[in-house]
Every structure is written in structure tokens, then in C-alpha cells.
Structure 1
Amino acid sequence: MSKLGTLAFKNNEGHTYDFAIFQMDSEFKPGHGGVYIITSRHDDDHHHHGHKVICIGETDDMSTVLQDHPMQAEFETQNANCCCVHATQDAAARERIAGELIEKYLNKN
């Protein structure tokens, strides 16, 4: 599995979390937890990469997260092509970070 790059996501308070960007077909090592953000990566007119956030979650095992994910059909419909990962084994931190980023990127009013 090769990393495509890194991407920073900020919560509503401005705290930044760094994520490694991987292709959707990447295989992750068993037993490694993290917060994940599924995105559709695209190039703009100036050849800069943009990411549309599709899904945010957390897991204690990244190796299984993309297997039979409940949003798999939506991933395909929205052309998901990247899995961004902020690795952490701390379950409480994963839940907190995922919640903060869901609030910012998916619960827009």
C-alpha cells in the first residue's frame, strides 16, 4: 500500500488532524485503528486536488473497514476513490475526533 499524500482536516474550533491519503483498494495491516474519511478526490482547473467528503468513521481495525461497508453503494455512486486515515489506537480519541469531523463536514445546516 502506498500513500498518495497527506491532507489536513480541521474541526469547528480550528484544531487540525493530519490524515494519510490512500486509494480505496489499499490493504491495511490488521489491528491498526484509526479515524477514516472516505472522499472523492478530483483535480480542479489548476491541477490541484480537491476532496469531497462522503463518509467519516472510526475503527479499531483498518484492515476490515472497507470490506462490506454499509455505505458501499454510496461510495460507488459518489465515485469514492480515497480513504484518508488518521491512525490512533486510542478508542476514546478516535470517537472524539470522528465526532468533531462529522459535525464539521457532514452535519452542515
Structure 2
Amino acid sequence: AMAYTGARGETQRDLHETLGYTSAGLTSDHVPRAHAQHTHLLRAPSTSTIRVANAAVVKDGYSVLSEYLELLRGCFEAEINTAALSDQQSLNAINDWVKNKTEGKIEKLLNGP
């Protein structure tokens, strides 16, 4: 959903269909708000445990629209970080974040830069 929100043109149209937004009747403007509402419902008290965590890692030196980053923070509660993305240190930081957020259930998301 975060990638969809930043996509445009054919990529956004393809993601809209693939992610089921067409069949759900969502327009591109409604996706971030719908995601925020869905996450809020998932976090409601229940007998089940569910953890929701989002992050965007932006390559050092890459420019991203501030409006997009604010949308990620606001609607997706995403952490925004920058990293080289081409070294082992960046890879380790991402894998450590995932391991921490999943309480060790996913130890390694990425194998190489």
C-alpha cells in the first residue's frame, strides 16, 4: 500500500488492480485513509495479538517528496530512514529492524544489498 501510494501512471494502475483496490471500490485518494482505518481496527483490543510495523528506507542522496513522506508517517505510521543500501551495514540495520518488530520471528528479510 505504501508503494502504491507513491506510484503513478501504469504502475499505480497495475498495483490498484493487483492489491484488490478496484474490487474494493477504493480510489487512489482513499487508499491511505482506508489503510489507516484498517490498521486502527487491527489494533483494537482482542484475544489475538497482531503487530503492525511499516518503514521506508530511502537511499542516501535520493530525494523524496516531503508530502509523500508525511503521508507514510501519518496514514501508515511508517518509520522513515536513510541508508546507503549498498553495504552490509545497511542490510544489517534493516534485518535488525525486522527481527525486532517481529520479535525474532523473522530473523532475516534481506540476504544481500
TM-score of the superposed pair, with normalisation by structure 2: 0.26
Which is helix-richer, 1 or 2?
2
Bigger relative CO (Cα 8 Å, ≥ 6 apart): 1
Which is strand-richer, 1 or 2?
1
